[in-house]
């Protein structure tokens, strides 16, 4: 052992010209010498995080040993909660010996991590100018210079995002990371590694990973619990959730396949045992993260397989007719770089992709970027950095966003956290590319109890093309569907007794996030009136039985929106809004891009007009402006009778479309 230790120390002296003298271990305990020997082997194999606690303990026992101080500081650079300590120790070493190999680079990294950007620039310039710097070192220096430059830019113009530690209920004194949420944030699933791990520690003394869940009640996450149906005595890591929370994706490395992706299905209140994804996603290479599109037909995932742009790349797979994943495509150089690109997350709007990259305009390590899907060629373009403070000089990764776009989550080892890695909540305050999603959720019941129902969602505006098929939860009856904007959808629910319930959702002209609760009761035989309480919510609860609804004037409506307008007209129809800058119109179509609209069947219903609003969507309206909702609804019924079955009343204020619920909040619609 002594000979091995001597050789390793001599190797470091030769490679690093560390200090004027080698560490003197003559008076050390044998256990300390053995620990140092093992830690140096780990360090030589670049297992810095495994070596870190060993060097840390030795350093605290022998704080004057400069070699240990130096090697501990280099390992501490790998963990964000120790960046400040690493910086201070490297400064001490540098003050004694400025010829330690690569120490200017180490100090540049430490200064960069601690947001001492001007100091980092000075160190990296000195390192690059040193004649002894290797070609590989110069390459690394150029990348660090880019990180420093972008960090200065983003920190000089921070966004309005606010970041807070999620809570001491979710976060503890060990590791919590990779958060996964359904679209409505009703619960959170994450990876935990600590003293409660089911498998204890591995052969290196590192805690094995488990998967935990925390339920959200009254806007607060409650005490998390382990998913015992999934966790084993090996590593079990959460990756992501489908938007409805029914599918949980996990990562496993069985030491023979370099890491693969698995899927579990929520059955009742438990997730099933994970099964390896079928098809072409998993290979002998590493596949470590994924995200499922809102319609369940596309899986975005990261892999280091050959043929990419370099390191880890982001790919997409298509769900094939036999329920396997195939047609693998690299997302191209608009997303991927020569450095690592990882942790894709496709938002509930179906068009916004969040991912992390070490390239592009990163301000250090992984930064989180956003890219929009171009509907013309189905490619992502114009990736933009989410800026500071969401991004930092260290790795920022595993970012997810709620359907409403207001809250994001990620994990980080920030200073001042509850433990090692913690989960943080982000108040995004996005000013551009705000999500446009129509979130529909509810429960299916019969005889006042939850019942499982088979459901399909079709896109009416695309000749009834299937958007998604699913089942409501057998134990709770719960379902949730995220509908991208710009289309009209038809829902069909069927229980095991052959009862069928239908309803429509019009998301063709909304320009922002909207949420609606629609509970499906299979006991309701007749066509009910909508149960809407417009005075309290923009997301009314609707007890819906069939596609057709009837009110007191016996007019048969065709859509949920028409029925809601009828309910509002019955209560507020006579209120004149002409003096408030508000107008009602009857809308028959809406387009983001100019199209020829044929309206021969509406010749007797008035003048057709094109109205371009601030959201960039052109509304096609008929019959002009109306001052009361009753006037507009009367004309709306005429247009429906003429054959435009999906026509509806829309309200416009300051060149923006507003909802009837908003008129209640504004004090325009008041109870008589």
pLDDT for 498-522, tens place per residue? 899 999 999 998 889 999 999 999 9
The whole-angstrom separation of Cα 58 and Cα 45 is 19
> E strands within 460-607?
465-471, 478-484, 488-494, 500-506, 514-521, 541-544, 549-550, 556-557, 582-591
The answer to whether the beta carbons of residues 181 and 214 sit under 8 Å apart is no
Q: Which pLDDT score is estimated for 617? A: 77
Distance CA 435, CA 107 (A): 41
Residue 635 has pLDDT above 80, yes or no: yes
Residues 517 and 542: beta-carbon distance below 8 Å: yes
Q: pLDDT value at position 567?
A: 82
Whether the pLDDT of residue 531 is over 60: the answer is: no
CB distance 278 to 325 below 8 Å: yes
The pLDDT value given to residue 266? 93
- What share of the chain has pLDDT > 70, as a percent? 90
**How far apart (Å, rounded) are the C-alpha atoms in residues 130 and 509?**
61
Three-class SS of residue 625? strand
Query: What's the average model confidence in pLDDT over 432-444?
Result: 91
Q: Give ∠ CA 544-545-546 in degrees, rounded to 5.
A: 110
Span 10-57, pLDDT tens digits: 444 434 434 334 577 778 888 888 888 888 998 988 888 889 999 999
Per residue in 327-378, pLDDT (tens digit) is 999 999 999 999 999 999 999 999 999 999 999 999 999 999 999 998 888 8
Give the whole-angstrom CA distance, residue 85 versus residue 77: 9
**Predicted confidence (pLDDT) at residue 654 exceeds the cutoff of 90:** no
> Which tokens is 294 given?
């809102």
Nearest Cα residue to 342 out of 308, 318, 372, 375: 308
Closest Cα to residue 519, out of 438, 567, 437, 449? Answer: 449
Q: Rounded to whole angstroms, what are the CA distances from 499 to 92, 97, 311, 473, 502?
A: 76, 82, 53, 17, 10
Cα–Cα distance measured from residue 378 to residue 476, given in angstroms and rounded to the nearest whole number: 36
Is the Cβ–Cβ distance between 439 and 232 less than 8 Å?
A: no
Statement: residue 543 has pLDDT above 80: no
State the pairing for strand pair 341-346/325-330.
unpaired
Q: What integer pLDDT is reported at residue 292 of this predicted model?
A: 98
Among 99-113, 527-541, 607-621, name the most confident range.
Answer: 99-113
Q: DSSP readout, 105-139?
A: HHHHHHHHHTT-HHHHHHHHHHHHH-TT--HHHHH
Distances 564 to 253, 360, 505, 515, 533 between C-alpha atoms, Å: 52, 48, 12, 14, 10
Q: How many angstroms from the chain centroid is the CA of residue 355?
A: 9
Give the bridge partners for 314, in sequence order.
302
The mean-pLDDT minimum among 325-339, 410-424, 462-476, 564-578 falls in 410-424
Q: What pLDDT, on a 0 to 100 scale, did the predictor assign at position 466?
A: 95
- Give the tokens for residue 565: 């307008």
Q: Residue 7 pLDDT more than 80?
A: no
Count of residues making up the chain:
672
Task: Provide the pLDDT for residue 257.
Answer: 54
Query: 3-state class of 635 per DSSP?
Result: helix
pLDDT digits (tens, 9 = 90+) for 457-491: 999 999 999 999 999 999 899 999 999 999 999 99
If we measure between CA atoms, which residue out of 15, 17, 100 comes closest to residue 90?
100
Q: Per-residue pLDDT for 551 more than 70?
A: no
State the Cα–Cα distance between residues 86 and 294, nearest whole angstrom.
44
Q: CA angle, corner 475, sides to 474 and 478, nearest 5?
A: 75
Question: Are 491 and 419 spatial neighbours (Cβ–Cβ below 8 Å)?
Answer: no
| Residue 260 neighbours by CB under 8 Å, 6+ apart | 251, 252, 253, 254, 276, 277, 282, 287
Strands 275-276, 260-267: pairing is antiparallel
582, β-bridge pairs? 653
The DSSP letter of residue 234 is: S
Residues 223, 214: Cα–Cα separation, whole Å: 6
- Supply the pLDDT for residue 22: 56
Percent pLDDT > 90 in the chain is: 59
Phi/psi at 389 (5° precision): -100, 0
Asked whether residue 527 carries a pLDDT value surpassing 80, the answer given is: no
More confident residue, 561 or 59: 59
| CB-based burial label for 15 (10 Å; 0-12, 13-18, 19+) | exposed
Q: At residue 594, what are phi and psi to the nearest 5 degrees?
A: -55, 135
Is the CB of residue 562 less than 8 Å from the CB of residue 648?
yes
- Please name the residue that has the structure tokens 């859509």: 559
Handedness of CA 462, 301, 306, 325 (dihedral sign): negative
When pLDDT is averaged across residues 542-563 and rounded to a whole number, the result is 56
Give the whole-angstrom CA distance, residue 486 versus residue 350: 11
3 state DSSP class of 321: coil
Among 257, 244, 247, 267, CA closest to 288:
257
How far does Cα 49 stand from its chain's mean position? 27
pTM value?
A: 0.77
Which of 80-84, 404-408, 666-670 has the highest mean predicted lDDT (pLDDT)?
404-408
Give the lowest-confidence range in 76-90, 203-217, 393-407, 505-519: 203-217
pLDDT band at 590 (very low <50, low <70, confident <90, very high): confident
Nearest to 282 by CA among 311, 241, 253: 253
Sign of CA dihedral 162, 167, 173, 175: negative
User: Nearest to residue 251, comparing CAs of 286, 300, 295?
Assistant: 286
Number of Cβ atoms within 10 Å of the Cβ of 438: 25
**Separation between Cα atoms, residue 109 and residue 121, nearest integer Å:** 10
Question: Over the chain, what is the mean pLDDT?
Answer: 87
Note whether 340 and 353 are within 8 A (CB). Answer: no
> Going by DSSP bridges, is the β-strand pair 582-591/618-626 parallel, antiparallel, or unpaired?
antiparallel
Identify the top-confidence range among 142-146, 531-535, 608-612: 142-146
**Whole-angstrom Cα distance, residue 490 to residue 633?**
23
What confidence score (pLDDT) does residue 615 get?
73
Do residues 417 and 81 lie in contact, with contact meaning Cβ atoms separated by under 8 Å?
yes
Beta bridge mates, 356: 342, 368
| Confidence label for 72 from pLDDT (cuts 50, 70 and 90) | very high
Q: What's the confidence (pLDDT) of residue 247? A: 97
Taking Cα atoms as reference points, which of 277, 278, 322, 328 lies closest to residue 298? Answer: 328
Task: Report all structural domains of the chain as residue ranges with CATH numbers, in order of start.
Answer: 2-156 (1.25.40.10), 162-427 (2.120.10.30), 437-523 (2.60.40.10), 563-665 (3.30.70.1070)
The CA radius of gyration of the chain, in Å to the nearest whole number, is 30
Closest CA to 594 of 619, 615, 614: 619
Instruction: State which H helix or E strand residue 343 sits in.
Output: strand 341-346
Position 539 scores a pLDDT of 37
């Amino acid at each position: 052992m002594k000979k091995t230790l001597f050789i390793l120390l001599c190797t470091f002296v030769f490679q690093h010209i560390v200090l004027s003298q080698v560490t003197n271990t003559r008076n050390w305990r044998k256990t300390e010498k053995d620990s140092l020997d093992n830690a140096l082997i780990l360090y030589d194999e670049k297992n810095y995080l495994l070596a870190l606690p060993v060097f840390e303990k030795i350093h605290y026992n022998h704080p004057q040993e400069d070699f240990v101080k130096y090697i501990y500081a280099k390992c501490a650079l790998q963990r964000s909660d120790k960046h400040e300590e690493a910086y201070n120790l490297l400064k001490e070493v540098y003050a004694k010996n400025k010829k330690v190999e690569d120490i200017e680079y180490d100090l540049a990294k430490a200064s960069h991590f601690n947001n001492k950007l001007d100091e980092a620039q000075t160190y990296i310039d000195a390192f690059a100018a040193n004649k002894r710097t290797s070609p590989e070192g110069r390459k690394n220096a150029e990348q660090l210079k880019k990180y420093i430059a972008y960090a200065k830019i983003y920190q000089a113009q921070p966004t309005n995002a606010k970041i807070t530690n999620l809570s001491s209920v979710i976060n503890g004194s060990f590791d919590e990371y990779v958060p996964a949420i359904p679209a409505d944030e009703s619960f959170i699933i994450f990876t935990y590694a600590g003293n409660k791990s089911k498998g204890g520690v591995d052969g290196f003394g590192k805690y094995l990973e488990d998967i935990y869940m925390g339920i959200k009640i009254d806007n607060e996450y409650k005490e998390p619990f382990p998913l015992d149906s999934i966790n084993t005595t090996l590593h079990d890591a959460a990756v992501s959730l489908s938007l409805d929370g029914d599918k949980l994706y996990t990562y496993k490395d069985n030491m023979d396949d370099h890491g693969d992706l698995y899927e579990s299905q929520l059955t009742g209140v438990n997730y099933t045992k994970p099964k390896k994804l079928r098809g072409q996603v998993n290979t002998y290479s590493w596949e470590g993260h994924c995200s499922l599109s809102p319609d369940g037909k596309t899986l975005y995932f990261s892999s280091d397989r050959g043929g990419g742009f370099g390191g880890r790349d982001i790919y997409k797979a298509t769900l094939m007719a036999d329920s396997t994943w195939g047609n693998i495509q690299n997302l191209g150089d608009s997303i991927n770089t020569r450095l690592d690109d990882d942790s894709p997350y496709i938002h509930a709007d179906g068009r916004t992709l969040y991912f992390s990259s070490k390239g592009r305009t990163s301000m250090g390590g992984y930064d989180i970027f956003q890219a929009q899907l171009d509907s013309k060629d189905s490619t992502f373009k114009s990736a933009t950095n989410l800026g500071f403070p969401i991004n930092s000089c260290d790795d920022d990764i595993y970012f997810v966003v709620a359907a409403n776009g207001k809250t994001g989550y990620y994990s980080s080892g920030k200073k001042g956290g509850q433990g090692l890695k913690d989960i943080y909540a982000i108040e995004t305050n996005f000013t551009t590319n705000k999500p446009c999603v129509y979130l529909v959720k509810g429960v299916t019941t019969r005889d006042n109890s939850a019942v499982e129902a088979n459901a399909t969602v079709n896109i009416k505006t695309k000749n009834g093309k299937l958007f998604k098929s699913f089942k409501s939860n057998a134990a709770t009856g719960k379902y949730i569907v995220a509908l991208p904007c710009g289309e009209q959808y038809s829902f069909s629910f069927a229980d095991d007794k052959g009862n069928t319930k239908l309803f429509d959702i019009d998301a063709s002209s909304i320009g922002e996030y909207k949420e609606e609760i629609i509970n499906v009761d299979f006991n309701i035989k007749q066509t009910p009136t909508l149960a809407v309480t417009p005075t309290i919510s923009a997301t009314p609860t609707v007890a819906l039985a069939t596609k057709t609804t009837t009110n007191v004037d016996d007019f048969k409506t065709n859509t949920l929106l028409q029925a809601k307008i009828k309910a509002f007209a019955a209560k507020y129809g006579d209120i004149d809004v002409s003096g408030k800058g508000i107008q009602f119109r009857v809308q028959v179509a809406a387009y983001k891009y100019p199209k020829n609209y044929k309206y021969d069947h509406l010749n007797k219903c008035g003048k057709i007009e094109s109205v371009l609003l601030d959201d960039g969507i052109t509304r096609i309206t008929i019959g002009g402006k109306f001052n009361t909702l009753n006037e507009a609804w009367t004309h709306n019924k005429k247009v429906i009778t003429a054959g435009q079955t999906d026509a509806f009343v829309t309200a416009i204020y300051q060149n923006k479309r507003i909802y009837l619920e908003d008129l209640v909040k504004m004090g325009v619609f008041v109870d008589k």
